[in-house]
Amino acid sequence: MHHIQRLAADILGRIEAGTTLTDALADAQRQQEQLTPAERGALQDLSYGSLRHLGVLRHCLRQLVPRPLPEPQLERLLLVALYQLQHTRAAPYAVVNEAVTSASGIARGKFKGLVNGALRNFLRRRDEILDAAARDDVAAANHPDWWVARLREAYPQQWQAVLAASNAHPPLTLRVNRRDGSVAEYLAQLAAAGMEASALGNEAVQLAKPVAVRDLPGFADGAVSVQDEGAQRAAHWLDLRPGLRVLDACAAPGGKTGHMLELADVELTALDIDAARLARVGDNLQRLGLNAELRQADAARPQDWWDGRPFDRILADVPCSASGVVRRHPDIKWLRRPGDFAALGRQQAAMADALWTLLASGGKMLYATCSIFPEENCQQLESFLRRHPDAVRLKEEQLLPCERHDGFYYALLQKH
């Protein structure tokens, strides 16, 4: 167990340095080829879980060790071990012993006694320590205090429900490929495979318990894709019809790209600035048996790639804080800083302005984010409408994270 603890602590360190959890975990698993499937699953659980509950874990550690620890890696190791003691079925004695073993590799082992004492103290005083954490705002929210303050200001009635949903484990939601079969038919396939699921509407199906993607009936053949129910709304909002010329800006990893092509035979260009991420779009389309023009380019600089032919529909899925998908990416809440939003806002405005010039008269553009903060959403839209008198708002919606879906914002605009 100790090498899994150590690897999870290493991942926390990389995230503190600015690496995303997705990249840090993938790198660790790639470098540790000898890990068994069970060990890979355990590493993922420790990494995600420690970040999901980091507010409480830090508060507990401060009660156990009030002074700053001299070795950052020591603190990360203790946070991971505390997560194990609170949220896993691992035997407490094994967690403590393996943490002590891991500590032997830090500062020549001189903190082994501290690790042993702190963790055993937690086991003796667990209820008292957790009760104190529950009374602390940051610990109880498991989000930074500035994040909580912004949520309270934006959603005075819903902020607590948003925090609870953002701290929960995300559901596994699928999108049934209409070209392959119906929702009812796929639910029958799931039932035959012993998987309980329910329909959410349109093409969305949510499993009662997550399973490995490889175990989903027909996944390899394109029968279904993994996509949040909130994200599935985008393709429907665009009012697609056969023959329309469509641009999917910032298309990676390709969930919305595939959905649009499943709904209608459109002429679609999928754009992304990152070549590796664009390759994932191609992989997804290949699995689905669908085709699009893939183009590596910056959506905010159409002069570098646009052929001058207007688009009938544009999906402007702009870069954002990703604050609406924190339960899937718990590192986001700890990596983001209050100052990020000004730069993101400038980037969003520049991209929306550039894409608007590519839209045909009478065409529709969907401004979309996976954010829940107004400065990236409704406030951006109001500024855009002031800059573009030829833009008409047809409809908009702010989805907040809940049991059914993640957080998204959509605003559908038409050019007159």
Which residues are known catalytic residues? 370
The 10 Å Cβ neighbour count of residue 154 is 18
Residue labelled with tokens 């899925």 = 317
Q: How far apart are CA 273 and CA 319, in angstroms?
A: 11
- Tokens, residue 138: 């940051």
Residues 6+ positions from 142 with CB-CB distance below 8 Å: 52, 53, 54, 55, 56, 163, 167, 333
Four-residue CA torsion sign, 343, 299, 324, 412: positive
Q: How far apart are CA 84 and CA 9, in angstroms?
A: 12
Length of the chain: 416
Q: How far apart are CA 282 and CA 291, in angstroms?
A: 8
- 249 forms beta bridges with 316
Q: Give, in order, the Cα–Cα distances in Å from 114 to each of 9, 49, 117, 414.
A: 17, 23, 5, 63
Q: How far apart are CA 345 and CA 408, in angstroms?
A: 16
Q: How far apart are CA 241 and CA 312, in angstroms?
A: 10
Cis omega (within 30 of 0) for bond into 253: yes
For the sheet containing 173-176, what is the strand order? Answer: 197-201, 204-207, 173-176, 224-226
